[in-house]
């Protein structure tokens, strides 16, 4: 199995240190607002990786943090605590905010069939581990105290910048950040922040009352669960230059050795070719898509069509095509389900599928292998069974839909009206076509059109 390692910038053969168990850390959500479909792409990527590892027979020991404290409004430790901002905005306690958006996040993740890590850990449950980590860094001479908090001295860590490939000197030359005169270097980052009285979340520490920096959270949790060796660490691409660079500095400084072996990053989801932003009013959540009549699995199918290392462009047209293809895929699989067993040799499809997923998670290619098999092969039960094997990685619930299809056959009346409607449309008799669509709707069925034809689904 080959994975692209962001650290070495090469595709490398992956093997965990312990032959059967993969220690995997995934940066989790900051729970101060609704998780959007861009965030979901990052977790769908984590899901693909977990499913492919499991397909290859590995057991995973996964950890994901929930950032419920310490992530300031900028990644460079500037601004306010995101949780406190939300608490003021919504007039709720920080704990209520954390609970509400954590529940929302896991609800979304569940609807997308995302396989979640074995250990989900709120940052606030590991404050002592973070304090111990910071103490360790101070003892080793990597950290120092100012009137504002405890800072990591980046000039002491020789490899700083290894992940993003920016040398500290180059960073300093182009520095834009405001220099705190108490810091030794402008890029020193906070490990622990001394809290003013009015700061809501604060804990006792050897340096007085305060709260942890965001980066130390992931390092301390990684250490708590995995000691000084992590096989894979995942996150979104935006974490590469600051958050993960800082994690590496903290981990490797304390452990005196390389801690994370494989770093993997998921590229961004864009909307209509650009960034999602409040001003463009294009930050969608899964709930927004559902309100427009889509199923969460339409988004999952859409996600499967791009490699995680490439930007993916979200449009409603693309989502609509995904919906049609997904439903058609179920139909094709179903035709095989109701056929006899023909003893077909499907090993070359299996081989192609496995080659694709093991080549740095080439999920789009794997999906096309499934299509090729269900379309080209003679109708046979074993094709259906193989599609279920592939679905362990794709997570499209093929079996569930096949069962529903068996139960809910479409009445002849609906089939006939749909056929008439299609004819009417082709003849540009749109008024009659709409009338028929409404009648079909009244009977509880929806019609989705595409270039090649139409699809009937039960509401
Ligand atoms: P946050 O809750 O802001 O820490 O983000 C959670 C995860 O979503 C992180 O791994 C981010 O890198 C990732 N993320 C944020 N926006 C996008 C996007 N537009 N596309 C893909 N991943 C994203
Ligand atoms: Zn993290």
pLDDT at 244: 97
pLDDT at 397: 95
pLDDT beyond 70 at 249: yes
pLDDT beyond 90 at 84: no
Confidence of residue 113 (pLDDT cuts 50, 70, 90): very high
pLDDT beyond 70 at 451: no
Centroid of ligand 1 to alpha carbon of 129 (angstroms):
25
Centroid of ligand 1 to alpha carbon of 315 (angstroms):
18
* 220-237 mean pLDDT: 97
Find the range with the poorest average confidence among 158-162, 210-214, 224-228, 412-416: 412-416
pLDDT beyond 70 at 150: yes
pLDDT at 408: 65
* 65-73 mean pLDDT: 86
pTM, 2 dp? 0.88
Residue nearest atom 17 in ligand 1 by C-alpha distance: 38
Centroid of ligand 1 to alpha carbon of 291 (angstroms):
23
How do residues 181-200 score in pLDDT, each as one tens digit?
A: 999 998 899 999 999 888 88
**Around ion ligand 2, which residues have CB less than 5 A away?**
27, 218
Where does ligand 1 bind, in terms of residues with CB under 6 Å? 27, 29-30, 38-39, 41-42, 235-236, 238-239, 266, 268-269, 276
pLDDT at 452: 63
Nearest ligand to the CA atom of 265: 1
How do residues 317-326 score in pLDDT, each as one tens digit?
A: 999 999 989 9
pLDDT at 116: 98
Centroid of ligand 1 to alpha carbon of 378 (angstroms):
43
Residue nearest atom 2 in ligand 1 by C-alpha distance: 29
* 297-305 mean pLDDT: 98
Tell me, letter by letter, the H, E, C secondary structure of the chain. CEEEECCCCEEEECCCCCCCEEEEEECCCECCCCCCHHHHHHHHHHHHHHHHHHHCCCEEEEEEEEECCCCECCCCCCCCEHHHHHHHHHCCCHHHHHHHHHHHHHHHHHHCCCCCCCEEEEHHHHHHHHHHHHHHHHHCCCEEECCCEEEECHHHCCCCCCCCCCCHHHHHHCCCCCCCCCCCCCCCEEEEEECCCCCCCCECCCCCCEEECHHHHHHHHHHHHHCCCEEEEEEEHHHCCCHHHHHHHHHHHHHCCCCEEEEEEECCEEECCECCCCCCCCCCCHHHHHHCCCCHHHHHHHHHCCCCCCCEEECHHHHHHHHHHHHHHHHHHHHHHCCCCCCCCCHHHHHHHHHHHCECCCHHHHHHHHHHHHHHCCCCHHHHHHHHHHHHHHCCCHHHHHHHHHHCCCCHHHHHHHHHHHHHHHCCCHHHHHHHHHHHHHCCEEEEECCCCEEEEEC
How do residues 424-443 score in pLDDT, each as one tens digit?
A: 998 999 999 999 999 999 98
Ligand 1 atom closest to the Cα of residue 269 is 20
Class assignment of domain 2-266? alpha beta
Find the range with the poorest average confidence among 211-215, 409-413, 437-441: 409-413
pLDDT beyond 80 at 276: yes
Mean of all residue pLDDT scores within the chain: 92
* Pairwise pLDDT comparison (22 vs 172), residue with the higher score: 22
Centroid of ligand 2 to alpha carbon of 239 (angstroms):
8
Confidence of residue 122 (pLDDT cuts 50, 70, 90): very high
pLDDT beyond 80 at 168: no
Residue nearest atom 6 in ligand 1 by C-alpha distance: 29
Q: Which CATH architecture has domain 286-305+315-402?
A: Up-down Bundle (1.20)
* Pairwise pLDDT comparison (113 vs 173), residue with the higher score: 113
Ligand 1 atom closest to the Cα of residue 267 is 21
pLDDT beyond 70 at 64: yes
């Amino acid at each position: 199995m080959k994975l692209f390692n962001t650290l070495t910038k090469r595709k490398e053969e992956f093997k965990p240190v312990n032959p059967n168990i993969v220690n995997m850390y995934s940066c989790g959500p900051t729970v101060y607002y609704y998780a959007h479909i861009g965030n979901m792409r990052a977790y769908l990527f984590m899901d693909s990786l977990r499913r492919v590892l499991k397909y290859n027979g590995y057991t995973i020991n996964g950890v994901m943090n929930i950032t419920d404290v310490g992530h300031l409004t900028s990644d460079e430790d500037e601004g306010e605590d995101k949780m406190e901002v939300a608490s003021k905005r919504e007039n709720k306690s920080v704990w209520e905010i954390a609970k509400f958006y954590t529940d929302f996040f896991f609800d979304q993740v569940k609807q997308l069939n995302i396989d979640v890590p074995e250990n989900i850990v709120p940052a606030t449950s590991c404050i002592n581990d973070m304090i111990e980590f910071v103490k360790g860094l101070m003892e080793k001479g990597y950290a120092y105290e100012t009137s504002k908090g405890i800072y990591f001295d980046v000039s002491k860590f020789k490899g700083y910048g290894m992940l993003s490939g920016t040398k500290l000197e180059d960073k300093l030359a182009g520095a834009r950040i405001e220099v705190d005169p108490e810091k030794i270097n402008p890029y020193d980052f906070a490990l622990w922040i001394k809290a003013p009285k009015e700061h809501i979340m604060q804990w006792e520490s050897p340096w007085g009352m305060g709260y942890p920096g965001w980066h130390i959270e992931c390092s301390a949790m990684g250490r708590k669960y995995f000691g000084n060796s992590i096989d894979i660490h995942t996150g979104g691409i935006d974490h590469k230059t600051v958050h993960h660079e800082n994690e590496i500095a903290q981990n490797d400084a304390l452990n005196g050795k390389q801690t994370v072996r494989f770093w993997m990053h998921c590229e961004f989801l864009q909307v209509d070719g650009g960034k999602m932003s409040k001003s463009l009013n294009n930050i969608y959540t899964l709930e927004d898509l559902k309100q427009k009549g889509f199923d969460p699995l339409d988004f999952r199918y859409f996600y499967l069509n791009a490699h995680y290392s490439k930007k993916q462009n979200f449009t409603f047209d693309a989502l609509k095509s995904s919906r049609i293809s997904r439903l058609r895929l179920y139909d094709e699989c179903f035709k095989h389900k109701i056929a006899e067993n023909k003893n077909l040799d499907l090993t070359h499809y299996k081989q192609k599928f496995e080659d694709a997923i093991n080549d740095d998670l080439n999920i789009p290619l794997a999906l096309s292998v499934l299509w090729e098999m269900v379309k080209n092969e003679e109708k046979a039960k074993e094709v259906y069974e193989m599609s279920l094997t592939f679905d362990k990685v794709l997570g499209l619930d093929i079996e569930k839909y096949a069962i529903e299809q068996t139960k809910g056959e479409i009445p002849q009346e609906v089939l006939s009206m749909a056929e008439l409607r299609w004819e009417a449309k082709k003849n540009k008799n749109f008024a009659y076509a709409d009338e028929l669509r409404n009648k079909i709707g009244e009977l509880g069925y929806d019609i989705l059109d595409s270039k090649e034809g139409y699809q009937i689904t039960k509401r």
